[in-house]
Each structure stands twice: as structure tokens, then as C-alpha cells.
A and B are shown apart, each in its own frame.
Chain A
Amino acid sequence: MTTIADFIPPILVAQSVFWLMVVLTLAGAVLAVLPLKIVHNILGLALAMFGLTGIYLYLGSQFVAMMQLLVYVGAICITYIFAIMLSPPLELSPSKRPAVKAITSLIVGAVTFLAVVQMILSTKWAPYAQPSRDWTIKTLGQELLTRYFLVFELISLLLAVAIVGAIMIAGIGQKRD
């Protein structure tokens, strides 16, 4: 019996989906920074997070992928959207970005980027661990509260930062009016 797999090797499909997801992530990242309307930024962020979900799936980590979608798209982006509810309406022309702010964020971004690149280059990469086939809740919970405790805590910190950020944006928006 001939199947589709005879004509197109599955690994090719998987790799093309992977690159599609990389492109989606990068496009989302660009969208998250460049457009002036804040809603477009958030939608870009959501797109980037969605792309990351695809990459996690490609790497065989379904749980992390679903959590990525649930926490980042479903929680963080929605939290930001609560801030947007109070942002200026469409018909007003968007305010110009102060040069100082732009330069500062550029410097911070460049430094972070260099640090991450340095970290990636200096790490001795081990061959990747064999993904576990154990999908019970007990194991997931134990791993989250022992081996991946730091990651778990960082996610909660991130959520807190997102909420504080949302309040900040809302507060500043109200002061300007």
C-alpha cells in the first residue's frame, strides 16, 4: 500500500513545520516590538508564544508546550489585554516614542542578547536526554516541585510581573488623560 509517507518523508514534514514555527516565532517577536498600536504588539507576542509552542512540540515536550500555550497566550497576553482596555482609542494618533526610552530599551535589549549568546556559546551541550514516557500526574507534580522547581517559581514570578506591568500601563494611561 502506498501512503503519503512514501512520497514525502515524515522527517521532512517535521522539519518544515519546525522552520515554519521558527519563522512564526520571529515574525511574532518583530510584531511585538515594531507596530505602534499596542494591541498589535500583544497579538505579535501571542503569535511568538504560539510559535514557541510548536517548537516545544517538535522537541517532544507536550506538557511544556501545552503549558506554554495555557500560561503565556491564555494568561499573560490576556493580562496585558486588561491593560489595553484602558489604552487610548484608535482615532487618536498614537503618541511618539521618546528617544531616550528607545535608546535605553535598545541598549538593554542588546546587552541581554549578547549575554544570552555568550551563555549559549560557552555552555558545553550534552546530548539531549531521552524524553520520559511517564505521563502520570504524580510524576509531573514531583518533577515540578523538585527538579524543575526553579522554572516553576520563575513562571509564577513572571505572572506576578505581568500583573504589575498591566497595572502600570493602566495607571500611566489614566494619568495622561
Chain B
Amino acid sequence: MAGLVGLAIIAAIVPLNVAFLVLLERKVAGHIQLRPGPMEVAPHGILQTLADAVKLLGKEMVTPLSTDKIVFFLAPIIVVAPAFVGFVPIPFSPMMQIRDVNVGILLIFSFSSITVMSILMAGWGSNNKYALIGAVRSVAQNVAYEIPLLLATMSVIIMTNTFKLGAIAQAQSSVWYIFLQPVAAIIFFIATTAETNRAPFDLVEAESELVSGFHTEYTGMRFSLFFLAEYTNMVIAAALFTVLFLGGSSGPFFPGMIWFLIKTYFLIFVVMWIRWTYPRIRFDQLMNFAWKVLIPIALLNLLITAIVLKVI
């Protein structure tokens, strides 16, 4: 029964949270770049996203003639599924967790590999060169950055000796892993930024060269599903960072849930801050950075962690 209630909460929170994040993104962008952002709808534009959402829902769903109909239709549906599943094992507080799955962290990573599949379906099904190049870039990028991501996570996991996210958060009650594993934390942060296709790694939708990447042909509701998945994945990535490196819901004065949300949304703010501060990097630089810099450092970090653990 608790599982069903949890699922209902997820289904409600995910879209609301995305609406909030879109507004936050526009406001952060506006203030960083000295332009206040949307101001017209309600005081200081706080209802702007609501208006945008209604507009998006009302738009016609266009299916171009030469698309691969079934693949084109299925891609936006499949892309949101992992975004919802990812919330299941996340411990918002010791009391507030839908299921403390034994393989919690693996669950999130393995379902996120389905996202790659659906992005490729979208790009290929659109039968459009720009969309296909966007999708191919996305797949290459995701495969490349998944390795340092998993290696960085492994160095935390071998310290806690469990895949359970709740147990990993509890293991940090005395000292957060960001202090014990600073290298892994940095690698994890960079890799998740790349995995969620955020700037400066957003080559997938580099609008100046690829129109808007794999979702060029998608309109209305279908486009908004991709948007929903992207922002939800960002939340899951930030929540994972909170659990793995920032001690989950631990903190003084407030209840755990509040601390968890503060940490998570601060990380999301940092990601947005980075997006509007740094320029996009070139694709070969992106791949070189993953294969030649991040993976060796992550491997070395894992090795050192293992040796230190063995000695102690």
C-alpha cells in the first residue's frame, strides 16, 4: 500500500517540480546575465511556467510524413519511464523512502541506460539528419561518461559495502564522503552533468549547429515529455550526489527531508549557474576529456581507495 501512495506522490511531484525548475532556470539565467527574465505573468513572473505549460499542451502534435511512425511515437513515452523509476530508491529522509531496494543505486543506473535507447529511437525515428546527429552524439557522450560515473560511484560503494542508498546515507553520519572522496565527488558531478546533457556538455542540442538535437521533430506534448525527462533526470542526479557525498538527509535543526531538499536544490542551482557561466565545449574535447582524463583519474581513485581500505 505504501508503495502505491509513494508512486502517486511521484506522479504528482515530478511534473510540478519540473515546472518549478523551468522557472528557476529562466530566473537564474536572467539574473546571472543581467536580464530579469519573464516578468509579465503575475508578480515577478512566477506564473510564467504555468502559462507555458498550458500553451505547450494546447499545441498540435505534428508527425512528419517520412518518420518511422512506431519508433517516433514510442520514444517520448519510453524516455520518461526511467525518470519515474529513479525516484523509487532515493531516501529523502529515513522515514520518507518508497522502497529501500537492495540494489538501489544499480536500479537508477540501469534504468538510466534505457534513456539512451529512447533518445536514439527519437533521433533515428525522426528521419532527420540533425536529429540523428544529435542522437548519435548523445549516445556517444552517455557511453563515454557512464564509465567514470560508475567508477566514481564504486569508490563510495566499496567504502560502505552496500548498494542500499539508505545505508550509504546513514554511513556518513559522522563525516560526509565529499571530504573522504573529494576526487570521486568531482568526477561524479562532472559525469552526471554530462549524462543529463547539461551545459557545458549540452552538445546533444547545440541549437546553433543542430537546431535542437534529437527532439527537433517533436512538438507539443511529446516535446514536453522530453523536457520532463531531462529535468527529472537532473533532480535524480542531484539527489544521488546528495546521498553519495553530502550525507543524505543529515543536518541540524530541521527535519531530514528539508535538509535533503536544500542540498539537492542547491546542487541543481550550481548546475544552472555553471550552464550560464561557461561556454559549450567542442565535441572532440568532450570525448577526449572523458576517455583520457576522467576515466584514468577515476580508475586511480578507485585503486587508491581499495588499497587504503585493505591497509586499514
Contact = CB atoms under 8 A, between A and B. Distances in A.
- Give the bracket for the number of chain B residues in contact with chain A: 20 to 34
A4 B164 contact: no
Interface in A124-166: 135-138
Contacts of A8: none
B139 A81 contact: yes
- Give the bracket for the number of chain A residues in contact with chain B: 20 to 34
Interface stretch (B36-44, B105-113, B181-189, B290-298): B105-113
A82 B142 CA distance: 13
16 contacts: A3-B1, A37-B68, A39-B71, A62-B102, A66-B103, A66-B110, A69-B114, A73-B110, A74-B116, A78-B117, A78-B143, A82-B139, A85-B136, A90-B68, A137-B158, A137-B162
B66 A70 contact: no
Given A81-B120, A137-B163, A70 B139 contact: no
Given A39-B71, A63-B106, A135 B163 contact: yes
A70 B136 contact: no
A81 B142 CA distance: 13
Given A69-B113, A90-B68, A137 B136 contact: no
Contacts of B230: none
Nearest to A37: B68
Nearest to A1: B1
B113 A74 contact: yes
Contacts of A138: 161
Contacts of A63: 102-103, 106
Given A4-B1, A62-B103, A136 B121 contact: no
Pairs of residues from A and B, 5 with the lowest C-beta to C-beta distance, nearest first: A74-B113, A69-B110, A66-B106, A70-B110, A135-B102
A136 B103 CA distance: 10
Which secondary structure dominates chain B's binding surface? Answer: helix
Which secondary structure dominates chain A's binding surface? Answer: helix
A77 interface: yes
A78 B109 contact: no
A5 B120 CA distance: 39
Given A39-B124, A66-B110, A74-B116, A135 B164 contact: yes
B251 to A, nearest CB: 27
Contacts of B101: 62
A156 B136 CA distance: 25
A78 B66 CA distance: 24
Given A3-B1, A69-B113, A135-B162, 4 more contacts: A66-B107, A74-B113, A90-B68, A137-B158
Contacts of B102: 62-63, 135
Looking at A73, A74, A84, the one whose CB has the most chain B CB atoms below 10 A away is A74
A71 B140 CA distance: 16
Nearest to B67: A90
Interface in B140-173: 143, 146, 157-158, 161-164
A43 B121 contact: yes
Contacts of A81: 120, 139
B93 interface: no
B4 interface: yes
Nearest to A64: B103
Interface in B68-120: 68, 71, 101-103, 106-107, 109-111, 113-114, 116-117, 120
Contacts of B162: 135-137
A78 B116 contact: yes
B102 to A, nearest CB: 4
B127 interface: yes
Contacts of B161: 136-138
A70 B146 CA distance: 11
Nearest to A140: B163
A77 B114 CA distance: 10
Contacts of A66: 103, 106-107, 109-110
Contact of B127 (A40, A50, A84, A90): A90
Interface in A88-135: 90-91, 135
Nearest to B101: A62
Nearest to A79: B143
Contacts of B103: 62-63, 66, 135
A115 to B, nearest CB: 31
Looking at A63, A66, A70, A137, the one whose CB has the most chain B CB atoms below 10 A away is A66
A78 B144 CA distance: 12
